[in-house]
Chain A
Amino acid sequence: MATDLTTDSTDRLLDGSDEINKYNFVTKTKGVFRARKGLDADIVTQISEMKDEPGWMRDYRLDALKIFESKPMPQWGGNIGINFQDIYYYLKPTEGQGRTWDDVPDEIKETFDKLGIPEAERKYLAGVKAQFESEVVYGSLEEDLSKQGVIFTDTDTAVREHSDLLREYFGQIISSSDNKFAALNSAVWSGGSFIYVPPGVKIEFPLQAYFRINAEQMGQFERTLIIVDEGAEVHYVEGCTAPMYSSESLHSAVVEIIVKKNARCRYTTIQNWANNIYNLVTKRAMAYENALMEWIDGNLGSGLTMKYPAVYMMEPGARGEILSIAFASQGQHQDAGAKVVHCAPHTKSRIISKSISKNGGRSSYRGLCKVEDGAVGSKSSVVCDALILDDKSRSDTYPYIEVEEQDVQVEHEASVSRIGEEQLFYLMSRGLTEAEASSMIVSGFIEPLIKELPMEYAIEMNRLIELQMEGSVG
């Protein structure tokens, strides 16, 4: 089993010199197990056995595999040129999970050091998970939170240790038959976070998960389930990076969230995958009476992203807010968006989307606002703004608005424009170069979103945007 798994593909690493160098490095690792390339029932069974899972989960996976095989590729969105047989579906990087960073093998720890995770943890996080390839290699949670009954673990551990709680919700919000990539994830999922916040517990600092794909042609399929019990609050942050290889990799996650009565959940993503990664993710939350679900979704990396975080407002007074930023540069297609579904009276939603296309990039907003029969007194507002920075780039907007009720207020607005010349001249007349001026205007454009981020992430986000802007000015 222990073939030489040294990831040594530095020579094939593309020199993405123009874009975001900080993440473009490969760590030489000795993994402990790697399933052979390709996808079939044997691989799925093998993954399940490696994880020592109960029979129900193995059957769930095999069933999902069948659904995956029977579903056609989506005919909309981006071009998905994946050869599913040319991907490694499971790579176990270490034996067991570290409780302290010292337990984590040096080379992997080094990766996260470079990415600044341990430092962030010391400074402002209530808990951290770090996933490397298929498995979570490090996990921590502040002691008093675990004393209060908060669970923050990886989903594999949850299958073993919290199986009743997990089974109640797993796959209930996003079933295997929801779409082709949800089926794929359900068949081969590994890692991801499982969070339970007991009634009334408000977690002040964010819980963060960090996802790193290191190996070439690696698929990462984390599975996250968050349950925020009545009156509880949590903010979860995920960051994603990978080095740039010449061949493509796949990231396909499923994230399910339950926000019970009077609870709040905020889920922030800063996605900065390398440009050779297909990022095809299904994220959905159900919000109950007077609960608030917020998605803050920043998409800067990946070659193709298709991701539309959703909030189903199930009971009166539920609210959903989604802020989405997408930045597409050369070789990138960000097909991002948001979905809000009003299923109960007096529910409220708001979607704000800001997208930027530059240097041949394509960004698309694709979204849904649905008001179901019976959701009287519901209100929704959807605003999409797009900025196109040059004539090689493209911007699309596809909002779907479905109203089945009379007493509602639904508003949608979208506009696409370029950087105003007057604005540019004004700034340049004040001594800025054109690049600086554009960069400043772009910062102003996404400012409403940035200010929703905790300080540290706002700084990171701004820095990433600057890098994207510098990347190819000229």
Chain B
Amino acid sequence: MSAYIPAAQESEIPDPGTLLVEVAERLIVLIHAAGHFYALDDVCTHDGGPLSDGPVAAEQGTLACPRHGAQFDLKTGAAKTMPATKATTCHEVKLENGTLFVRLNAE
């Protein structure tokens, strides 16, 4: 899984904001924060909550799970707060001519 796959248009995601997309049958949340784009699995490692419904904290560089508030690092997917203790998978994103491409991390 090393190809960049087009996932969304830059204009679809406000800053700060998130967009849920499907890339090769996987649900990925694209995050726009402080001018940068990130991509994480749309799965909270605490109890599977949908991260795409959670708030982005651009200053802290985190996305919070709407269910019990666990925060994940946008760059690495690392769990920053309880009740999550494990990172969620993060993927590479690149922007070309207004299109966002995602390269899936094999896990």
Q: Report if A and B touch in the complex (beta carbons < 8 A).
A: yes
A316 to chain B, nearest CB (A): 14
Whether the pair B85, A174 counts as a contact (CB closer than 8 A) is no
A179 to chain B, nearest CB (A): 7
In the complex formed, the residue of A with least CB distance to B71 is A175
Known contacts A175-B69, A176-B69; A343/B82 CB under 8 A = no
In the complex formed, the residue of B with least CB distance to A339 is B83
Whether the pair A178, B86 counts as a contact (CB closer than 8 A) is no
* Bound Cα distance A372, B68 (Å): 18
A64 to chain B, nearest CB (A): 11
Whether the pair B82, A174 counts as a contact (CB closer than 8 A) is yes
Whether the pair A175, B86 counts as a contact (CB closer than 8 A) is no
Which A residues are in CB contact (< 8 Å) with B83? 174-175, 178, 284
A285 to chain B, nearest CB (A): 11
Which A residues are in CB contact (< 8 Å) with B68? 175, 177-179
In the complex formed, the residue of A with least CB distance to B107 is A373
* Chain B interface residues (CB < 8 Å from chain A): 45, 64, 68-69, 81-83, 85-86
Q: A314 interface residue, CB < 8 Å from B?
A: yes
A99 to chain B, nearest CB (A): 36
Whether the pair A312, B85 counts as a contact (CB closer than 8 A) is yes
Instruction: Give the size category of A's interface with B.
Output: 10 to 19
**Most chain B CB within a 10 A radius of its CB, from A177, A179, A286, A374:** A177
A174 to chain B, nearest CB (A): 7
Q: A104 interface residue, CB < 8 Å from B?
A: no
In the complex formed, the residue of A with least CB distance to B81 is A175
* Bound Cα distance A370, B71 (Å): 19
Give per-residue flags for A65-79: 1 if the beta carbon is below 8 A from chain B beta carbons, else 0.
001000000000000
In the complex, which of the residues A67, A172, A372, A373 contacts B82, with contact meaning CB atoms closer than 8 Å? Answer: A172
Which A residues are in CB contact (< 8 Å) with B81? 172, 175
Q: A277 interface residue, CB < 8 Å from B?
A: no
Whether the pair A341, B85 counts as a contact (CB closer than 8 A) is yes
A187 to chain B, nearest CB (A): 15
* Bound Cα distance A173, B82 (Å): 6
* Bound Cα distance A131, B68 (Å): 29
Give per-residue flags for A159-184: 1 if the beta carbon is below 8 A from chain B beta carbons, else 0.
00000000000001111111100000
Whether the pair B86, A372 counts as a contact (CB closer than 8 A) is yes
Whether the pair B85, A314 counts as a contact (CB closer than 8 A) is yes
* Chain A interface residues (CB < 8 Å from chain B): 67, 172-179, 284, 286, 312, 314, 341, 343, 372-374
Q: Supply 29 A–B pairs (Cβ within 8 Å), ascending by A.
A: A67-B69, A172-B81, A172-B82, A173-B82, A174-B82, A175-B69, A175-B81, A175-B82, A175-B83, A177-B64, A177-B68, A177-B69, A178-B68, A178-B69, A178-B82, A178-B83, A179-B68, A284-B82, A284-B83, A286-B82, A312-B85, A314-B85, A341-B85, A343-B85, A343-B86, A372-B85, A372-B86, A373-B86, A374-B86
A232 to chain B, nearest CB (A): 22
* Bound Cα distance A374, B85 (Å): 11
Which A residues are in CB contact (< 8 Å) with B69? 67, 175-178
* Bound Cα distance A179, B67 (Å): 8
Chief secondary structure at chain A's binding surface: loop
**Most chain A CB within a 10 A radius of its CB, from B68, B82, B86:** B82
Which B residues are in CB contact (< 8 Å) with A176? 69
B75 to chain A, nearest CB (A): 20
* Bound Cα distance A284, B82 (Å): 10
**Most chain B CB within a 10 A radius of its CB, from A175, A286, A343:** A175
Please give 6 more A-B residue pairs, beta carbons under 8 A apart, in addition to A176-B69, A284-B82.
A67-B69, A172-B81, A178-B69, A178-B82, A343-B85, A373-B86
* Bound Cα distance A223, B68 (Å): 19
Which A residues are in CB contact (< 8 Å) with B64? 177
Which B residues are in CB contact (< 8 Å) with A178? 68-69, 82-83
Question: 9 closest pairs, A vs B, by CB?
Answer: A177-B69, A343-B85, A178-B68, A175-B69, A372-B86, A173-B82, A175-B81, A177-B68, A178-B69
B60 to chain A, nearest CB (A): 14
In the complex formed, the residue of B with least CB distance to A373 is B86
* Bound Cα distance A380, B81 (Å): 25
A180 to chain B, nearest CB (A): 11
* Bound Cα distance A224, B64 (Å): 25
* Bound Cα distance A341, B86 (Å): 11
A328 to chain B, nearest CB (A): 27
* Bound Cα distance A284, B81 (Å): 14
B25 to chain A, nearest CB (A): 21
Which A residues are in CB contact (< 8 Å) with B86? 343, 372-374
A284 to chain B, nearest CB (A): 8
A186 to chain B, nearest CB (A): 11
* Bound Cα distance A67, B45 (Å): 21
Which A residues are in CB contact (< 8 Å) with B45? 372
Which B residues are in CB contact (< 8 Å) with A312? 82, 85
* Bound Cα distance A314, B83 (Å): 12
Which B residues are in CB contact (< 8 Å) with A314? 85
* Bound Cα distance A312, B70 (Å): 15
In the complex formed, the residue of A with least CB distance to B83 is A178
